[in-house]
Structures are given as C-alpha cells and as structure tokens.
Structure 1
Amino acid sequence: MEFDLFPLWISLKTALVATIFAFVAGISAAGWMFGYKGKERGFIDGIFTLPLVLPPTVVGFLLLLLLGRNSPVGILLQKLGIVLIFSWPATVIAASVVAFPLMYKTVLGAFKQVDRHLIDCARTLGASEQRIFWQILLPLAWPGVVGGTILSFARALGEFGATLMLAGSIPGKTQTIPIAIFLAAEAGKMDKALIWTIVMIAIALLAIAAINYGSDSPNLAQSRLTNQVSFLIGRWSSIVGRWFNFSRPYLMVGKSNAIAEEKIRETPSELNLNLYKKLAGFALNTQVTTNGKPLGILGASGSGKSMTLRCIAGLETPTEGRIVLNGRVLFDSKKKINLPSRSRRIGFVFQNYALFPHMRVARNIGFGLQDLPKEKRQQRVQKYLELMNLQGLERRYPRELSGGQQQRVALARALATAPEALLLDEPLSALDTYLRTHIERLLIEVFSTYQGVTLFVTHKLEEAYRVCDRLLILHEGRVIASGRKEDIFEHPATLTVAKLTECKNFSRVRAIDPQRVEALDWGCSLHIVEPIPPSLDYIGIRAHHLTFIHPSELQDSERKNVFPCWLVSKSETQHQMTLYLRLNSPPEKAIAYHLQGEVFKEKWQELKDRAFPWYVYLEPLRLILMTRESPIQK
C-alpha cells in the first residue's frame, strides 16, 4: 500500500501556524473583552464565537465569499499578484478562523477566574491597565492560556470543511489529514483511512492528556512549576511593559500616580466625602469629614461600608457627589472629574488581603514602587519588611504564610507607596482570636505614626473601639451616628445605633413625668436623670451595666430602680455568664425574659446559690433614652 506522509506534514505545519495566529488574536480579543463594558458586548462576543457553532462548511463558504476572486478583497489581492484561494495560506486561514473561538473562549474564561480583588488592588497601587494585563492577569491565567493553545492546535489539526471549501484538496499542497481520510474512504482504501484516523486519535489523546494534567489539582512539583512559569511570564511581561512604557500609567483623568516621598506632612490630612450611589437594595448616601485620626466605620453586613471605601479608592463610581482628599478633588460629578484609582494615592487593605499569589513577599510589597529607582525600591521594601517583622520571609509565596503574616504583607504593601489615605476593609475578619489581638496592636502602633487619613471598616464594635478614636455608623447606606467613640457608646441616640453598638436590652417607653418613665415591655416604671428627648420611643441598658443587689442592701431607701427578678435561663463562655432575667414575677416560659445581663464567673459564684428572687438595680445614669429615627440623615 502506497502511503504518502505529506498530509501529516501539511497538517502539522498548518496547525502550528494557525495556533500561533489564534494564540495572539485570542489572547488580544479576550483581554479586550475582559475589560469592555459596552452595550455591544453580547453582540461582539457572538461574532467572536460564531465559527465555533457554525458548520465548518458554512464557515468555509463565508470565507470564500470574503476572500474569493470576485470579492473586494480578492480583487485587491489579484492586483497585488497574490493568489490566496486553493493555496496553503488559505489552509492556514481556514484553520485559524475555526481555532480562534476556542482560544478566545478558554482564555476569557481563565481571565474571569482571576480574583477581581487582585486587579482592584493593583489599580490602587498605581498600575495601569496594560501593566495589570501583563503582570497580573496573564501570569495568573496561564494554565487557561496553555489549555486554549492545546485545544486550538487540536482543532486546527482536525479542520476539514472550511479547508476543503477555501483551499481545496491539492496533494502535497493543501491536502491535510482529515481530507486524506475522506478521500481514502471515498476511494475504498479503508486501511489507509484507518491509519490516518489512528494518527488523529493519538494526537487528540495527547492533547486531552496535556489539558487534564494542567487542570488537575497540582501536587508540589506542579505547584512549583506553576510558580516558575508565572514568574517567568511576569518577568517577561515587565520587560515588555518597560519597552513599550506600559509600566507608567497612561493619562485618563488627572496625573500619573507617582510614588510619594515619605515625609511628615506640613498640613493636617483631611478627607471630605459627600457621595450618593444607587445600589440594588438601597441608596448609599454618605457624608464624612475626617482628619488624620483613625475613623472606624461600623455597620451590619450590607450597610454600605465596603462600597464607601471602594468609591473613595475609585474602584466604584458614585452616582453623584464629591470626594476631596487633602485639597485634591478625586471625584466631582458636577465638574465631571473622576480620577482613576492609580492616580488617587490611596492605600487599600482588602478583606482577603489580595496578595498576588505568583509573586514573592518582597515583590508584593514593592509592586507599587515601580517608578522608584531599583536601589530606592529595595530600601523601601526592606524598611517595611522590618516594620512589619517580616524579615526572612522575603522569598516566600503568599500561600506559604500564615494568616497574620499575610495580613502584615498586605499592610506593608499598602503603606510602602506612602499613600495620603489608608483604607482597611475588615482586615481582621479572617484571623483567629490570637492573631487578631496581635494585628490589632500592630495597627494601633502603625496608626500612631501614620500621617494620612485612616478609615477602618468593621462590623465588630470591639475592634473599632480598640483601634479608632472616632466612629461612624452606617445603616442601609445612611450615616446614623458620628463622633467620639465614648459618646456614641454611652449615649446612642437611636435604637439602631444602640443595636449596632451591641446594646441588648430594649423596651418601648412612655413618659410619666420629667423624672420618670414607664418601660412598657419590662413592666416597670423607672426614674431617670437625663432630659427626656422630644421624641422618646425606647429605653435601654447594656447587659454589663445591670447590678445585682444583695438582700441586705435593700434597706437603702435612696436607691431607686431596684426590682425583684428570677433567672429564666443562662449561657456561658470561658470568662462570663449571660443571664436571662424576668422582672417582678417568676417566669412561666423559658423564653419569657425581660433583661439580659452579663457577669464574670466570679460574680456568678456569688449569685448561683442565692435564693430567688434576686434583686437587680438599673442605675439611672446607665439608662439610655432613644428615638426610633436617626437625627443625622433622613
């Protein structure tokens, strides 16, 4: 049996060249579509994907209409003396067109799998979109790029219909393996067709094996290979970026985010924020003026805390409003000013830290120092390694660090660029109690010397209280309290503020006279010392402010607000007991309690053997008088 190997060489050569074209075009198209937000996105994506869903003969016919001798392109090629139809270049074009969608879709999917926080973080560190593509997006998506390349090669190798329509079947010139199989089978040469089929199956199995190897959970060797390849891609991308000047931010609105020199500010830092942004469930409407002292932003999940930070950093665009930092206008909806994140000089510590997984610790910290000379960049990185006690960890990858170490790297990276404002989005939420305590102490130390504006977002009162001097409380996008932490904690003006500051005892209330009110839900009247507000709706007292009186002390006739109580139920932690109490009468049901008290275990040892009723004292100075609505924003 005569067996010509030309179809194999033609197929391999065609598939290789077509894969190169699909590789470049697919990555370019995927990168552009990843950042494109226009209304035509769906239509453009459909055009790019069309060759994947159309029958190959239809694709070939469309290419024939586009490139044929009677088409405008064909006429132009004839004038230039170029013969395209029924030539090997036509084989490459057909294979490239059908392979492109696989490359495009696979790479775009890989780009979408990259954590968006990494991209946002790079923007706040002054990186341009081109630098983000070359040094963050592409290195992290490289397994998908490899998979797309293998699929594209396999698809180009197996192309039949479009090739036959555009390039024909010229032996030794355009006859690929699929066409050779078709012609052999049509001529009754089944042995020859079978051999070519086995060759195609072998190549396809190799491609599948390569993809599966790359997609399986990596063992240690694969993980090291991933880091090495990502590092090489990132390093090569850095060289390309510098060559094309991609490392320097291009101008959109405002000037480049040049790295600030570290020096003491001559004027106090100040942030003025007045923004409005429509969200799915509510509207974020926030007004803030703060200086260099740390401001804790407290609120329940979904209250708008993180969105406020993202608007300040330029990662989200408010519907309207104005943001001014140290006299620089970052955003002004009326004047159409909207500085990009890279130009705002704002450090951002994300909740998940957003450390670049393919970069070692030193390179993570130095990522935002690209514009500094190498020697100064190394000095700055070393300074923050020492400040955060990270010496010896410079060459580790983020996954090789503990949670506390990752947090310190993220903080060092944000501070290394000498930002004018430092935003921390629930930075302690992922840490255990031991690490949280250590990082809190570190934050307090850092904030004591940091000269810029600091916003610390959390949903835990104790974190904000320990770290910050002032608090701002958000509820459903509105500021409902703002001021000194002691004032907000001791005198919450509204029911919502009291709940968010972890007050646990509330009752509807009715004024009896200027010094006495009736707690409707507790079934008692209370003497008060504070003036009754114009609109009084609730009274409250914090759980740890309940005082238990020994029966021998009841002779004190001057003491008011003392009531008999019975224990309904209890719960305990390692240090204290939570007691659920009913006033004035024994409980009929386990859930029928009025007040929740908290006492240390030592006090519980005194109480537990005491006969009922116990006596509880609600100190007038500890009683909180509240309205229902916020007086700050409506």
Structure 2
Amino acid sequence: MPYSDLSPLWISLKTAFVATIFAFLLGIAAARWMYSYSGKAKGLIDGLFTLPLVLPPTVIGFLLLLLLGRNSPVGQMLKQLGITVIFSWSATVIAATVVAFPLMYKTVLSAFEQIDNNLIHCARTLGASEWRIFWQILLPLALPGVVSGTILAFARALGEFGATLMLAGSIPGKTQTMPIAIFFAAEGGKMGEALNWVLLMVAIALLVIAAINYWSGTQHSAKWHAIAHWLSIATDRVANVIPFFNYATKNPRSYRHSPLAKGVKYGNKGLFVNLKKHLPGFTLETQLEANGQPLGLLGTSGSGKSMTLRCIAGLDSPNQGRIVLNGRVLFDSQRGINIPSRQRRIGFVFQNYALFPHLTITQNIAFGLQDLPQAERRQRVAKYMDMMQLQGLENRYPEQISGGQQQRVALARALAIHPEALLLDEPLSALDTYLRSRIEKLLIETLSTYDGVTLFVTHKLEEAYRICHNLLILSQGKVIANDAKENIFERPPSFEVAQVTECKNFSTARKIEPQKIEAQDWGCTLQVVEPIPDSLTSVGIRAHHLTFPSHPDAENTFPCWLVMTSETQHRTTLYIKLHHPPDHSQHYHLQVEVYKEKWADLKDRPFPWYVCLDALRLILME
C-alpha cells in the first residue's frame, strides 16, 4: 500500500486526537455542572447532552449541516468572518466531537455520582470551595472514569462516519477518514483495500479495549492512589491561585448576600438552634441551646438527629428558623441569611468517617489547613497526630489502617481546623465493642479540653450518658426532653422518653390516693413518694432498680415466679410474673437485670421469690 494511501489513517488519528481534547474538556465541564445541578430541567438537559448517542449519525450530521450551513444564521456569520466550516477538516473535527462528547460526559458523570457524598460534604465543612473540591476530591476520585471516558471518546471519534460524511464530505487527503475510505473502497469493488482498513481499525479497537481494561482494573488501586495523590498535590497550588469560583448551589441567595458571608455578629456565646425542616413522613422541629458542655442527641433511627446536625453544619437548609453560633447568625429564614458550610467553622465527624481515600493520613488531617503557612500547617498536623495516637501512620492511606484509627483520623481532622462547634454523628457505631470502649475514653479526654460547642448524636443511652452532660431526646422530629442526663434518666417526663432511655417495665396506672396508685397491668397497688401528676397514665421502673428481699415485709413487695432467663457475659435478665406461677413462657410482668453474682445467690431460692418496687425508683408518667 503506497504511503499516499495512508492519508485516511493520519486524518483519522489527527481528527480523533483533537476531537478527544474538545470532548474531554466539554464532557468534564458538563458532567461537573450536571452533578451539582438539581433543577427541574435536569432530565431534559441530560437528554440533550446524550442525544448523539441514540440518534443515527446521519441525523446528527444533518442537524449540524442545518446549524452550520451557508444559509443558517451561524453560517452567515462565519461567512462574514471569512471562515468556512462545511466540507473542511474543521467540520470533521466538529462531527467527531459531537458524537464523542456523550460518551465522555456520561462516563465522567457516572464516576462523579459513585463518589460518596459525605466526602464532598466533609470537604465543605473543612472550608474547601467548590472549585477546590472539584480539583482535589471529585477529579482525583473520578480519575478511572475520566480515563475510560477519554479512551471511549477517542475510539468513537476515530470510528465516526455518518455525521462526518454529511458535514465534511469525502475529500481525499483532507476529510476522508478511515471509515469513509472503507465505505468508498467497498462501494468501488476494492474489497482488499477495504479489508486492510477494516483490520487496522479492528486492531486499534482491540488496543482501546485493552487500555480500558488495564486502566479500570481493580488490581491497579496502588497506581490510582499514586496518580490521584499527584493530581491532588498539583492542583493544590492551582486551586489557590485561580480566582475564587463557586458553582450554582441549592441556595444561591445566600451567596449573593456577600456582606453576610461571615455571619451577622451578636454577643451571645454558644449555639442556639430553632429550626423547622419538612422531611418525608414528618416535620423536624428542633430547639436547642448548647455551650461548653457536650450535648447528646438521643433518639431512634429516623427521629431527625443527623438531619439536625446537617442543618447546623450547612449541609442541608431548614425551611424555617434560625441558627446562631457564638453570636454569628449562620441561618435566618426571615432575613435570607444562609452562610455556606465552608464558612461556618464547624467540625463534622461523619458516621462512616468520610476520609479522603486518595490522600494520606497527614494530607487528610491537613486538608482544612490550606490557609496556614506550610510550617504552621505541619506543626498543627503533628499536634493532632500525637493527640490521637497516630504516630507512624503519616504516609498510609485510609484503607491501610483499622476502623479505630480511621475514627481517630476523622476526629483529628475535624479538630485541626479549630472549629467553634464539633458535631459527632454516631462516631462509634461502626466500631466493635473493644475499639468502641478505647475510642470513647479518648473522646471523653479530648472533649474535656475542647472549649467549643459539642453535639454528640447516638442511639445508645450508655454512650450518651458517659460522654455528655446534657441530653436532648428526639422522636419523629420533635424534642420530647431536654435536660441534664441525671434528670432525664431518673425522672423521664413521658412514656416515650422512658422508652428511648431504655426503661423496660411499664404499666398503665391510675391514682387511688394522694400517695398511692394502681398499676393495672401488674395487678398491684403501689405506694409512691413523688407527687402524682393529674394526667397520670403510666408507671415504670428500670430493670436494674428492682430488688429481691428475703421477706415480704418491705413496702411495695410482692410474691413472684421466674418465667425465663437471658444471659450476657456479666448480667442475667430475669423475666418474672407477679402473684401467681406462670402459665407459659410469654406470661411475665417484669424484666429484672442482676449481676451474675446476685443470680448465683438467687437461683437456688425456693418459689415464690419476693420482688420490691422501690417507691423512690418508680417513674410516674403523663
């Protein structure tokens, strides 16, 4: 085959290379915009972007011809500028770019959407702008998808035929690409020449497939870490010198009010929250005040605990209300104030820790310290590495350390920015019992020296009781209790609060005398010490407050029989029935928790036993 016959190859390669560059830039920009866009037209815009994937190439070529033809407005404007597009190599590039763009766009968008949203939210709480998040989080983590999309876009541009033929024609040495050369060779009966071009394109296609398999292979995670690591370092400096830029957000009004960017200042110290947010199934209405003492948010799953933290951090916006931190108004629906998350100076420890997987432990902790000089940044990172006992892990990645170590890195990263408030969203839930105990102890020690506001979300009463001084109980979005932990535990104000705080024994109740009630479900009359509320509905007693005296002489003491037991390594739970022996295993009145030593002494007693419901321990509920 003479050298001149290779011109379709050089034209195809040159066209595909240039078209891939355009598709690369346009595809990433479009994917980034669509990733953050949540308007009503999102589906329509996505459909327009992907239209070249589903339309026949000749239809795409015809539409381009209408757009750029000599009689079109664009064509007339180009003609006045002395620019000719139709039937030129530029037209070949345009056609290849249009058909390659959707592959780049969809592949990169899918890669963006697979990234854990908590990583993006975490970066915002650490003060990162949207521009920096794109360069240092989104793009590095989506790198396999970007590479795959680029290879696919190149392959699609290389194989483009219909749109190119419509827009650029078949001009040998100018616009005749390999697919067009194959078509005209076959049409002219030159089957051997067409076969040669076909084999060459098959070889290129196989190389493309091999490249995609190589770059997307999971066995290359170390290589991806290295590339993403390099990209993050390289863009660190770029992001700092490029002018500040923000993409559109769900709350653009807050960004337009630049005088409020740092919040309206008032004199009060601490966190004040009064918010309302509509959620599926209920409306979250949270009112709280917190200062230097850790406040525990307790409640069942779906009660609104995590959403409260997200609204305070600026990751979600309430429908109504006001949030003030140390005198700065972070959110005020009436005044149109909604400070971006990156400017709220709030540290957030996520339930899954949200460590950046492509950054080392040192880089994770230093992520929120970009405004500090290098020397001060290193000093602060070293301080929190020591505080969290992370020495020796500086150059490891999150996947190379244990769950307990990851939790400590997340805590160090949140504290390193010196936040005015620290929000902990069930930070111990992913740890096993041994690690949870160690991290809990470290957390208590750390919070004892932290002088900011701390909110600790959990659904475990024991965690909240050990770590926090005050508790706020949420149920279905409503605050049902807010008091010192001792008060809530000893005197829960309602049946629901008692349930959330793990009281296990309840009975409907009615007042008989000023200091006497009837526990109807237990079939007994009880003396009480506390004043009986007029709207009394229930009485309760905690499982570990019941005792077993040897004789029935004490007040509120009744005969009982053992129904069944349930054991842990330290305690035994006894299910007992009052007054009469049980008929079956589910026929019991009370649960009693005793230590193993007490159970060893108790189990050999003859029935009936006697159980005492201490009047000081009875919980009277409205």
* Residue in structure 1 matching 2:577, options 561, 577, 582: 582
* Residue in structure 1 matching 2:230, options 213, 232, 250: 232
CA deviation vs aligned residue, 1:380-435 (integer Å, no higher than 9, x gap): 11111111111211111111111111111111111111111110000000111111
Give the 3-state SS of the residue equivalent to 2:548 in structure 1: strand
Any residues of structure 2 matched to 1:302-317 within 5 Å, and which?
302-317=302-317
Conservation of the 8 A alpha-carbon contact between 2:130 and 2:246: no
User: In structure 2, what is the Cα distance between the partners aligned to 1:430 and 1:360?
Assistant: 21
Give the 3-state SS of the residue equivalent to 1:359 in structure 2: coil
Conservation of the 8 A alpha-carbon contact between 2:260 and 2:337: no
What is the TM-score when the length of structure 1 is the normalising length? 0.94
Shift of 1:370: 0.7
User: In structure 1, what is the Cα distance between the partners aligned to 2:401 and 2:568?
Assistant: 31
Per the alignment, residue 488 of structure 1 pairs with 488
Conservation of the 8 A alpha-carbon contact between 2:268 and 2:327: no
Give the 3-state SS of the residue equivalent to 1:620 in structure 2: coil
Per the alignment, residue 409 of structure 2 pairs with 409
Shift of 1:343: 0.8
Give the 3-state SS of the residue equivalent to 2:172 in structure 1: coil
What is the TM-score when the length of structure 2 is the normalising length? 0.96
Percent identity, aligned pairs only, is 68
Conservation of the 8 A alpha-carbon contact between 1:505 and 1:543: yes
Question: What letter corresponds to residue 603 of structure 1 in structure 2?
Answer: K
Conservation of the 8 A alpha-carbon contact between 1:254 and 1:343: no
Question: What letter corresponds to residue 90 of structure 1 in structure 2?
Answer: A
**Structure 2 residue 440 is matched with structure 1 residue 440:** yes
Per the alignment, residue 563 of structure 2 pairs with 568
Conservation of the 8 A alpha-carbon contact between 1:269 and 1:420: no
Shift of 1:243: 2.6
Per the alignment, residue 153 of structure 1 pairs with 154
User: In structure 2, what is the Cα distance between the partners aligned to 1:53 and 1:298?
Assistant: 51
Give the 3-state SS of the residue equivalent to 1:16 in structure 2: helix
Give the 3-state SS of the residue equivalent to 1:581 in structure 2: strand
244-253 or 483-492: bigger deviation: 244-253
User: In structure 1, what is the Cα distance between the partners aligned to 2:525 and 2:579?
Assistant: 12
Question: What letter corresponds to residue 524 of structure 2 in structure 1?
Answer: C
Per the alignment, residue 118 of structure 1 pairs with 119
User: In structure 1, what is the Cα distance between the partners aligned to 2:519 and 2:416?
Assistant: 54
Per the alignment, residue 252 of structure 2 pairs with none
User: In structure 2, what is the Cα distance between the partners aligned to 1:53 and 1:475?
Assistant: 49
User: In structure 2, what is the Cα distance between the partners aligned to 1:247 and 1:32?
Assistant: 13
Shift of 1:240: 2.0
Per the alignment, residue 134 of structure 2 pairs with 133
Any residues of structure 2 matched to 1:419-434 within 5 Å, and which?
419-434=419-434
Any residues of structure 2 matched to 1:509-588 within 5 Å, and which?
509-550=509-550, 553-554=551-552, 556=553, 559-588=554-583
User: In structure 2, what is the Cα distance between the partners aligned to 1:325 and 1:587?
Assistant: 57
Conservation of the 8 A alpha-carbon contact between 1:274 and 1:287: yes
User: In structure 1, what is the Cα distance between the partners aligned to 2:245 and 2:182?
Assistant: 51
Any residues of structure 2 matched to 1:338-349 within 5 Å, and which?
338-349=338-349
User: In structure 2, what is the Cα distance between the partners aligned to 1:114 and 1:438?
Assistant: 30
**Structure 2 residue 183 is matched with structure 1 residue 195:** no
Conservation of the 8 A alpha-carbon contact between 1:238 and 1:247: no
Per the alignment, residue 332 of structure 2 pairs with 332
How many aligned residue pairs are there?
611
Shift of 1:77: 1.9
Question: What letter corresponds to residue 225 of structure 2 in structure 1?
Answer: N
Per the alignment, residue 400 of structure 1 pairs with 400
Give the 3-state SS of the residue equivalent to 2:118 in structure 1: helix
User: In structure 1, what is the Cα distance between the partners aligned to 2:336 and 2:174?
Assistant: 60
Any residues of structure 2 matched to 1:197-212 within 5 Å, and which?
197-212=198-213
CA deviation vs aligned residue, 1:336-377 (integer Å, no higher than 9, x gap): 000000111111111111111111111111111111111111
Per the alignment, residue 608 of structure 1 pairs with 603
Give the 3-state SS of the residue equivalent to 1:616 in structure 2: strand
The structure-2 alpha-carbon separation of the partners of 1:80 and 1:11, relative to structure 1 and needing over 3 Å to count, comes to: same
Per the alignment, residue 620 of structure 2 pairs with 625
Segments of 5+ residues of structure 1 without an aligned counterpart are: 259-266, 628-634
Conservation of the 8 A alpha-carbon contact between 2:52 and 2:102: yes
User: In structure 1, what is the Cα distance between the partners aligned to 2:84 and 2:418?
Assistant: 61
Question: What letter corresponds to residue 23 of structure 2 in structure 1?
Answer: A
Shift of 1:249: 11
Give the 3-state SS of the residue equivalent to 2:518 in structure 1: strand
Per the alignment, residue 12 of structure 1 pairs with 13
CA deviation vs aligned residue, 1:521-545 (integer Å, no higher than 9, x gap): 1111111111111211110110111
Question: What letter corresponds to residue 186 of structure 2 in structure 1?
Answer: A
Shift of 1:253: 4.3
User: In structure 1, what is the Cα distance between the partners aligned to 2:443 and 2:240?
Assistant: 35
User: In structure 2, what is the Cα distance between the partners aligned to 1:215 and 1:459?
Assistant: 40
Conservation of the 8 A alpha-carbon contact between 1:241 and 1:247: no
Question: What letter corresponds to residue 561 of structure 1 in structure 2?
Answer: N
